[in-house]
Amino acid sequence: MIDNPRSPRVRAVAKLAKRAAREETGLFLVEGPQALREALSFHPELIVDVFATRGVFERHPELGRGLSVAGIEAEAVSNAVLEAMADTVTPQGVIAVCRQFPVTIKDLLAQGARLVAILEEIRDPGNAGTIIRAADAAGADGVILTGKSVDAYNPKVVRSTTGSIFHLPLAQGGTLEHALHAVRAAGMQVLAADISGEELPTLRGDLPRPTAWLFGNEAHGLSEAQLALADRAVRVPIYGHAESMNLATAASVCLYQSAFAQRD
């Protein structure tokens, strides 16, 4: 059992909470039974190490079976060690270290993508992770993070996806202009979510088309120059008295409206 929270190995895992360490190593943290379950189901080849406290596999026997099938042996650690490794205050008994698996925008679009989310300067990890999860649920073909958006492998982003990070391609880095050029070359229209746009229900005739939804920064949205790069600006109407909608909620509505239309 690893029981020294100050050991070099424990510190190396804990450093993965920082972007610099993730970029240097190409690794990222996966915390909790649900995220590990999805990693084992979809990308077991990415798992480098698994650390678990006593009793976790009794509570989650499917994890033990999955690790056995994948030929991965978990290392026992004390509660103090797991707390030192984890990004969360109260870790759920198991942590994995996985290899990152980003794709290029070209590869993401190569199989005839019909629905994509583009995140431009999304800074909040919870929003980014929730949008990735919503894109996965809506059957999107991938998510593209551009500009100064949060790192997709940030521990808070990974947790917010609840495992969806392992389900669909993610491309990050590069400029918005490059991403929009690529999706247009792939035959997709670009719809920008913005409060200045047309109401979403009026686009019913256009929503079945292959679509790249563009979502901007939580605080200031998309600039006029960025909006000009889109084919149309679209807003989710508010029928009640709410002052506004959370970005991730609005993104979920937009993605699902496209998913409904494309499957009608």
Percent of the chain exceeding pLDDT 70 equals: 100
Residue 98 has pLDDT above 90, yes or no: yes
pLDDT in tens, 226-236: 999 999 999 99
CB burial of residue 131 (10 Å; 0-12, 13-18, 19+): buried
Average pLDDT over the chain, rounded to an integer: 96
Which residues, listed in sequence order, are joined to residue 120 by a DSSP beta bridge? 146
* Model pTM above 0.85: yes
What is the CATH architecture of 8-99? Answer: 2-Layer Sandwich (3.30)
Q: Which residues contact 225 (CB under 8 A, 6 or more apart)?
A: none
CA 40, chain centre distance (Å):
17
CATH superfamily of 105-262: SPOUT methyltransferase, trefoil knot domain (3.40.1280.10)
Helix (H, G, I), strand (E, B) or coil at 147: coil
Ranges of CATH 3.30.1330.30 domains, the chain = 8-99
C-alpha 51/C-alpha 236 separation (Å) is: 43
Angle between helices 61-70 and 33-42 (to 10 degrees): 30
Residue 264 has pLDDT above 90, yes or no: no
Which SS3 state, helix, strand or coil, does residue 256 take?
Answer: helix
Which residue spans of the chain are classified as CATH 3.40.1280.10?
A: 105-262
Q: What is the pLDDT of residue 229?
A: 95
Question: 240-243 long-range CB contacts below 8 Å, 24 or more apart?
Answer: none
